[in-house]
Amino acid sequence: MMRTEVLFSVPRIYQHLGSLILLLGFTATLCAGELPFIVKQKLHQLAIPETAMGVYVQEIGASEPTVAVNADAAMNPASVMKLLTTYAGLELLGPAYTWPTMLYGNGKLADGVLHGDLVIKGYGDPKLDLENFWLLMHRLRQTGLHEIRGNLILDPTHYDIPNDDPGEFDGQPYRTYNILPEALLVNYRASTIHLFPQPEKNAVRVVIDPLPDSLHVQNHLKLTQGACGDWRNLLAIDVIADKDDKNNVTVVLSGNFSRQCAEQSVMLSLQDSAIYTRDLFKRLWAQQGGLFHGDVVVGQAPQGLTPLKMYQSPPLADIIRGINKFSNNIAARQLYLTLGTGDAVVNNSPATLAKSDAAIRRWLAGKQLNFPELVVENGSGLSRKERISARHMGQLLLAAFNSPVMPEFISSLPIAAVDGTLKNRFADTPVKGLAHMKTGALNNVRALAGYLLDKKGRRVVVVFFVNHDQAGQSRAAMDTLVHWVYDRP
């Protein structure tokens, strides 16, 4: 009888032990530095080996990491590389740094009439968007200038960088994330396609802003029933450039759009900088009551001209919020190019990738941070070449927390279930509002890195990289680690 009872109780004992191990997986690692059991389980379910990921977790003020798994492997961090670029920018340039855009009159100016050319020279302003370009026009008009009888000269010579193919990365040359850096980049050369369901007309209204004369639209969208869902994948956008003039573009919209969708929008970059800037300048200048009779020319500003106006961008502390919260690639690339020049109006022009790389490495060395595996191609993470280890990204975040620019840096990061790329992540969990983290995503790459305030009020650095063909499924494992860190004793 006793033997029989023991034989039946053994499975129950193992069952309880298994439950205990699962519980411990949430509250403690099996050994210091190891991956929590519950996270290992998730990775195993997803068929992602530990060799394909790098994890680093360390509490602020602790001498050793809590978790460090494959943490020294050089990995592609995708957009998490923006943390390096923005932190370096804050320390090297300062939170109040602004980018100038210079406006010159090359000719006689009398009674508000410029008998010559208006010259605009850019120095890499990453936020010369539609609103700020309008403000630039407004301030130019306030100088008393109302008529320009020459041409519009655009000077982009502050940048000396390769003339790459914008479609080289993924074959999508019109997508705005592939826009290449330009010293004079107006509104990211972007046209925003706004879609409005009109059930009363059984149609979809399409509005493009701004809409230059050289851009045409063919709307073949069908209004449908049902949930809005993944509306972006239900429509097709074809861009047809004129054979004789590639800047004369027709956008053809087809596919389905649900009447349940609210207003949605898609941004495309469809024209080269000269044509785009000319058309936008003409429209905004006319709105200001100005007259312009010329055309656009790309060239270099003559030496010795006296500025009509110097326009200053918003401060860097504001700009990095867009870079990190919404993963703005082109703004990150423009910031990266600025790191090697600083006050470019005074000295050290032109900006080059080599100067920026050297500036980053000098800055790291000055902080006693040695990252031999580091590869930075453009500073945005939109790269197949960029590399950093999870440990060194963690050490970078630890250094940033002890930096004078820490408040500006952390406030630029997405907040869990609140805004940015984390707006729809960690909702209805204890982590909501307590994690400031940057996400990253490329084909076969997923990344998450930043700061978490745990349930005991301790600030913890968390880094999780995955480089694997199953990386797109790794979010559950990453979120599980974040919850484990929050709940740990």
Residue-wise pLDDT for 76-131, tens only, equals 999 999 999 999 999 999 999 999 999 999 999 999 999 999 999 999 999 999 99
The residues with which 180 forms a beta bridge, in sequence order, are none
**pLDDT for position 19:** 42
Question: Residue 233 corresponds to which tokens in the numbers above?
Answer: 């994948």
Q: How far apart are CA 158 and CA 174, in angstroms?
A: 24
Cβ atoms of residues 222 and 235 within 8 Å: no
- Is the per-residue pLDDT at 21 higher than 80? no
pLDDT band at 472 (very low <50, low <70, confident <90, very high): very high
DSSP-derived secondary structure for 388-455: B-HHHHHHHHHHHHTSTTHHHHHHTS-BTTTSGGGTTSSTTSTTTTTEEEEEEEETTEEEEEEEEE-T
- Is the per-residue pLDDT at 20 higher than 60? no
Lowest mean pLDDT across 8-22, 77-91, 141-155, 180-194: 8-22
**pLDDT for position 219:** 94
Best-predicted range by mean pLDDT (122-136, 154-168, 260-274): 122-136
Average pLDDT across the chain, whole number:
91
DSSP-derived secondary structure for 207-222: EEES--TTEEEEEEEE
- Could you report the per-residue pLDDT of 215-233, keeping only the tens digit for each? 888 999 999 988 898 898 8
**Rounded CA Rg of the chain:** 27
Q: What is the pTM of this model?
A: 0.90
Tokens 């302003």, located at residue? 125
Question: Residue 435 corresponds to which tokens in the numbers above?
Answer: 């994690």
- Is the per-residue pLDDT at 64 higher than 80? yes
Tokens 């429509």, located at residue? 235
| DSSP letter, residue 299 | -
**pLDDT for position 488:** 93
What percentage of the chain reaches a pLDDT higher than 90? 79
